[in-house]
Chains A and B, each alone.
Chain A
Amino acid sequence: MSSEKEILERLKASVAAGEEETAERLAKEALSKIKPTKILEAASAGMAVMAEKYSRNEVFLPEATVTTAAFYKAFEVVQPAMKEAAPPKLGKVVIGSGFGDVHDVGKNLVKVMLEAAGFEIYDLGRNVTAEQFLNKAMEIKADIVAISALYTPTVVDIRRFVKLLNEKGVKGKIKVMIGGGSTSPAIAESLGITYGKDLHDAVLKAKALVGR
Chain B
Amino acid sequence: MASKELSSFDRIGMAARGEEPDRVPMGWLGHFEQGIALPNVKVFEVVTDKSGRRLFQGIKAVFDRYNPDAITVFTYTIVEAVAMGTKPKYYPDIPPGPFEYVVKEPRDLDLLKIPDPRFDGDLPCIYNAIRQVVKEYGGRVPIASNTTGPCAVAARIRGLWEFCYDIMKRPWFAHDLMEHATQACINIISHYIPLGLTGIGWGAGSETTISADQFRKFVLPYDRRYVRAARKMGVYSFTRHVCSGPSAPYVVDAYTDIARDGAYTIWGLFESPEVMAKKKEQFPKPIVTGGGPNTSLVQLGKPAEVVNEVKRWIKTVAPGGRYLFIGDCGIPPAATLENVDAYVKTAKEAGKYPIKI
With contacts A57-B247, A152-B300, A184-B296 taken as known, whether A62 is within 8 angstroms of B334 at the C-beta atoms is no
Contact between chains at A108 and B300 (CB < 8 Å): no
Among B91, B93, B165, B250: residue with most chain A CB under 10 A = B165
Q: Which residues of A contact B167 (CB under 8 A)?
A: 62
Contact of B168 among A66, A103, A151, A184 (CB under 8 A): A66
Cα–Cα distance between A65 and B163 once the two chains are bound (Å) = 10
Q: Name the distance in Å between A139's Cβ and chain B's nearest Cβ.
A: 24
Any A CB within 8 A of the CB of B164: yes
- Among residues 141 to 195 in chain B, which have CB atoms less than 8 Å away from a CB atom of chain A? 160-162, 164-165, 167-169
* A156 at the B interface (CB under 8 A): yes
Query: Is B97 within 8 A of A127, CB to CB?
Result: yes
B:203-259 near A, CB below 8 Å: 205, 209-211, 214, 244, 246-247, 250
Complex contact A153–B168 (CB within 8 A) = no
CB distance from B99 to the nearest CB of A (A): 9
Interface code A97-114, partner B: CB below 8 Å = 1, 0 otherwise? 000101101001000000
Chain B residues with CB below 8 A from A57, complex form: 246-247, 250
Contact A62 B168 (CB under 8 A): yes
Q: State which residues 54-112 of B face A: CB under 8 Å.
A: 89, 91, 93-94, 96-98
Is A18 a contact of B168 with CB atoms below 8 Å? yes
The answer on a CB contact under 8 Å between A105 and B209 is yes
Chain A's interface size range is 20 to 34
Find chain A residues with CB under 8 A from B30 CB: none
Candidate in B162, B211, B247 with the most chain A CB atoms within 10 angstroms:
B211
Q: What residue of chain A has the Cβ atom nearest to residue B247's Cβ?
A: A60
Any chain A CB within 8 A of the CB of B27?
A: no
Q: Which residues of B contact A166 (CB under 8 A)?
A: none
Q: Once the chains bind, are B296 and A182 in contact (CB under 8 Å)? A: yes
Q: Known contacts being A152-B296, A152-B334, is A100 close to B168, with CB within 8 Å? A: no
- Asked if A124 is at the interface (CB within 8 A of a chain B CB), the reply is no
Question: When chains A and B are docked, how far (Å) is the Cα of A155 from the Cα of B299?
Answer: 10
- In the complex, whether B333 has a CB less than 8 A from a CB of chain A is yes
Q: Tell whether, in the assembled complex, residue B214 and residue A60 are in contact, meaning their CB atoms are under 8 Å apart.
A: yes
Cβ of A90 within 8 Å of any chain B Cβ, yes or no, is no
Complex: A61 Cα to B160 Cα, angstroms: 9
In contact, A62 and B164 (Cβ under 8 angstroms): yes
Quick one: given A60-B209, A102-B98, A127-B97, are A153 and B334 in contact (CB under 8 Å)?
A: yes
A155 touches B164 (CB 8 A): no
B-contact 0/1 string along A175-211, CB 8 Å cutoff: 0000001101001000000000000000000000000
A52 CB–B CB distance under 8 Å: no
- Least CB distance, A96 to chain B, in whole angstroms: 13
Report chain B residues within 8 Å CB of A100. Answer: 91, 93-94, 334
B332 at interface, CB cutoff 8 A: yes
One digit per residue, 1 when the CB lies within 8 angstroms of any chain B CB and 0 when it does not, for chain A 150-164 equals: 011101100000000
Known: A60-B211, A100-B93, A153-B299. A65 touches B332 (CB 8 A): no
Chain A stretch 58-117: residues in CB contact (< 8 A) with chain B? 59-66, 69, 100, 102-103, 105, 108
Question: Are B161 and A105 in contact, with the CB atoms below 8 A?
Answer: yes
Q: Is the CB–CB distance between A65 and B168 below 8 Å?
A: yes
A126 within 8 A of B: yes
CA distance A162 to B343 in the complex (A): 30
**Cα–Cα, bound, A102→B98 (Å):** 8
Q: Judge whether B211 and A59 touch: CB under 8 Å.
A: yes
Residues on the A chain within 8 Å of B247, using CB: 57, 60
Compute how far the CA of A30 lies from the CA of B165 in the bound complex, rounded to whole angstroms.
27
Q: How far is the CA of A153 from the CA of B295 in the complex (A)?
A: 9
Check A126 against B97 for contact (C-beta < 8 Å): yes
User: Complex: how many Å from CA A69 to CA B162?
Assistant: 11
A89 nearest CB across to chain B (Å): 25
Check A60 against B210 for contact (C-beta < 8 Å).
yes
CB distance from B170 to the nearest CB of A (A): 11
C-alpha spacing A54/B98, complex, angstroms: 25
| Interface pair A102/B89, CB less than 8 Å apart | yes
Task: For residue B335, give the distance in angstroms from its CB to the closest CB of chain A.
Answer: 8
Residues of B with C-beta under 8 A to A63: 168
B interface residues, Cβ below 8 angstroms from A? 89, 91, 93-94, 96-98, 160-162, 164-165, 167-169, 205, 209-211, 214, 244, 246-247, 250, 295-296, 298-300, 332-334
Shortest Cβ-Cβ A-B pairs, 6 listed: A102-B97, A153-B334, A61-B209, A62-B164, A65-B165, A152-B332
Q: Please, could you name 13 A-B residue pairs with CB atoms under 8 Å apart, sorted by A?
A: A60-B164, A61-B246, A66-B168, A102-B94, A102-B96, A103-B205, A105-B160, A108-B161, A127-B89, A151-B332, A152-B295, A156-B299, A156-B334
